[in-house]
Amino acid sequence: MNKKISSIIFTDLDGSLLHRDNFKFEEIKDYINSLIDEGIIIIPNTSKTEIEINEFIKELGSELPFISENGSSIHGLNLINSNFPNKIILSRDKQELLEIFHSKVPNELKNKCKFIYDMNKKQLTNIFGLKDNNLKNALNRKYTVPLLFEGDNIEKNKLLKILKSFSLTMQEGGRVFNLGDNTNKVKSMNKVIKIYKKIEANIKIIGVGDNFNDLEMLKNCDIPCLVFNDKFTLDQINIDNLIVSNKPSPEGWADVIKMALGKLGYND
């Protein structure tokens, strides 16, 4: 393919690039590496932990910069340019966030929150779909705490309002909510873009996601891409020029990227 415009792909992993149930991506591994070889920058932007993303990178066989734990920390920008930082932390430590949560949230709402650290191994395996080291890696969090919320929408909105007043968030993912600091995928993405524009002003941003917690990221991209997810319909989404796959991940990821790159003048 002939490169026309500098591009950065910010992509969610679970359900977007990785298979929703088995977390595999073998079908598109060669395609991803071919993009990297062409100089296209791919940056995972995910709720996954640092160690989980490093396992993905190891399996891919190509080093990548990445954003972990819903925008909490940015890693490896020095891979793009040696003058860029290796690590940027945008969040407070999870223990500090938990102390605020337990001291400020009223008991009637706290009782609706079931934190993962209160669950047994069998419950965690059922929730995350992971076992053994994979489960351990998913729970090895520095800045966010997964939980199940068992209240209704009114209670959820009340809790979100309280958390916001103390600069906390509770972001909804495909399997759990994540209690975190006042950061998200969009803020971390924009931080990376600002840094990258120091060396290249004319860039196009492709965003790939599959779930509600990806929509703000997609809205802030030049070319938003949605991988098929039967949890919601397109009439629930208001994003201009949205590219949508007819297939789930991982094949759906390759499909939307090919369409996005075609818009930018990349030709096979």
Quickly list DSSP for 81-106. Answer: -TTS-SEEE-S--HHHHHHHHHHHS-
Contacts 24+ apart (CB under 8 A), 135-138: 137/49, 137/51, 137/52, 137/55, 138/48, 138/49, 138/52
Token pair, residue 256, equals: 């939307």
* pTM higher than 0.75: yes
Banded pLDDT at 252 (limits 50, 70, 90)? very high
Same domain, yes or no: 68 and 191 = yes
CA distance 103 to 101: 6
Question: Do strands 168-172 and 203-209 pair parallel, antiparallel, or not at all (unpaired)?
Answer: unpaired
> Is 158 in the same domain as 194?
no
Domain end residue (candidates: 139, 155, 181): 181
Residues 6 or more apart whose Cβ sits within 8 Å of residue 230: none
- Which pLDDT tens digit goes with each residue over 128-152? 988 999 999 999 999 999 999 999 9
Domain at 199, CATH number: 3.40.50.1000
Number of H helices and E strands in the chain, helices first, is 10, 12
57: in domain: yes
- Residue found by looking up tokens 């002939």 in the block: 2
Domain closes at, from 158, 181, 204: 181
Cα-trace Rg, the chain:
18
* φ and ψ of 135, to 5 deg: -70, -45
Q: pLDDT tens digits, residue range 176-202?
A: 899 999 999 999 999 999 999 999 999
Burial of 102 (0-12, 13-18, 19+ CB in 10 A): exposed
pLDDT band at 94 (very low <50, low <70, confident <90, very high): very high
168: containing domain = 94-181
Note whether 150 and 109 are within 8 A (CB): no
Number of domains in the chain: 2
Q: What is the SS3 assignment for 143?
A: coil
Q: Is 268 inside any structural domain?
A: no
- Contacts of 90 by beta carbon, 8 Å cutoff, 6+ apart: 71, 72, 73, 74, 181, 183, 187, 188, 191
What is the pLDDT, as a whole number, of residue 267? 63
